[in-house]
Structure 1
Amino acid sequence: MRLTLAVLPLLALAGCSSFQAHPDKVTPVPEERLLAYQQPVESGGELVVNRDLGMLGGGCYVAVLVDRRVAARIGVGEQVRLQVPSGTRVLGIGVDKQDDTLCGMGRLNRELAVPVTPGQRQHFRIVSEAKSGFDIRPLAP
């Protein structure tokens, strides 16, 4: 009985962590939630951001930011492709300020410095974990 009581909370926490979606299950962010960086940039690169599947924050959109400008509002299991100029870009995630529910009232600010070279494509994923919350991480293509 004690073992069951000790293991149940761990299983519950593990169930709140996100997991990477199979490529067949990933859908593009709908056009109405694409806000910037959609036009090809001469001598630029592409940043591809996928959001994991999972229950934690599942009913909320997350703002994807490039150079601290909102580029897209991404949902669970979605992908956005961003066309960015070369040079060092600041790729981040934040609270979706267009959301007027409790999701839009939280605090979230994670950023990465991403060196972009012409013609380069880089992949990232948004994860959500019970212990640390949301994060954005590089992903090998």
Structure 2
Amino acid sequence: MRLMCAVLALLALAGCSSFQAAPGHGKTLPAERWLAYQQPVEGGGQILVAREFGLLGGGCYVALLVDRQVAARIGIGESVRLQVPAGRRVVGIGVDKQDDTLCGMGRLNRELAVEVAPGETSRLRIVSEAKNGFDIRPDTP
């Protein structure tokens, strides 16, 4: 009985971690939640951000920020391709201030410096883990 309880507890914790969608199975962010960086920038590049699937924070949107300005409100399994000027960009995630539920009352502030080359795409992913909560990381192939 104790062994079964321990196994169930471990499975519950593992179930709270996120996982990447198989290529082509993610959803594109709906236009109403894409708030900035929609138009191509001359001499600029792109930042592709995908939020992984997972139960932790699954009912909540996460604010995606570029240079500390909200660019999108992203849900689980969604991705967005932002058009940004070339150079070093600060990409972060935070609490969605437009959310009036408990999700909007939490604390979240993670940032990552990203070098964007002209004509190139930098890929990032938003993960959720039971131990560390939400984070934004480079997407390594």
TM-score (norm 1): 0.97
Task: Indicate the SS of the match to 1:76.
Answer: coil
Superposition pairs of residues 20-99 of structure 1, within 5 angstroms: 20-99=20-99
2:5 alignment partner AA: L
Task: Indicate the SS of the match to 1:60.
Answer: coil
Give the superposition deviation at 1:54: 1.1
1:121 maps onto 2:115 in alignment: no
Superposition pairs of residues 99-118 of structure 1, within 5 angstroms: 99-118=99-118
Task: Indicate the SS of the match to 2:112.
Answer: strand
Separation in structure 1 between the aligned mates of residue 55 and residue 5 of structure 2, nearest angstrom: 22
Separation in structure 2 between the aligned mates of residue 102 and residue 23 of structure 1, nearest angstrom: 32
Gaps in structure 1 of 5+ consecutive residues? none
Q: Could you list the per-position Cα deviations for residues 36-95 of structure 1 after superposition, in whole angstroms to 9, with x for gaps in the alignment? A: 001101111100000011111000000000000000000111000001101110000000
2:129 alignment partner AA: E
Separation in structure 2 between the aligned mates of residue 11 and residue 135 of structure 1, nearest angstrom: 22
Separation in structure 2 between the aligned mates of residue 106 and residue 50 of structure 1, nearest angstrom: 21
TM-score (norm 2): 0.97
Give the superposition deviation at 1:24: 2.4
Q: What is the CA RMSD across the aligned residues, in angstroms? A: 0.9
Q: Could you list the per-position Cα deviations for residues 79-125 of structure 1 after superposition, in whole angstroms to 9, with x for gaps in the alignment? A: 00001101110000000000000000000000001111111101111
Q: Could you list the per-position Cα deviations for residues 4-44 of structure 1 after superposition, in whole angstroms to 9, with x for gaps in the alignment? A: 12222111000011110112221111000010001101111
Separation in structure 2 between the aligned mates of residue 61 and residue 2 of structure 1, nearest angstrom: 37
1:69 alignment partner AA: Q
Gaps in structure 2 of 5+ consecutive residues? none
Number of aligned residues:
141
Separation in structure 1 between the aligned mates of residue 29 and residue 6 of structure 2, nearest angstrom: 40
Question: Comparing 41-50 with 4-13, which one deviates more in the overlay?
Answer: 4-13
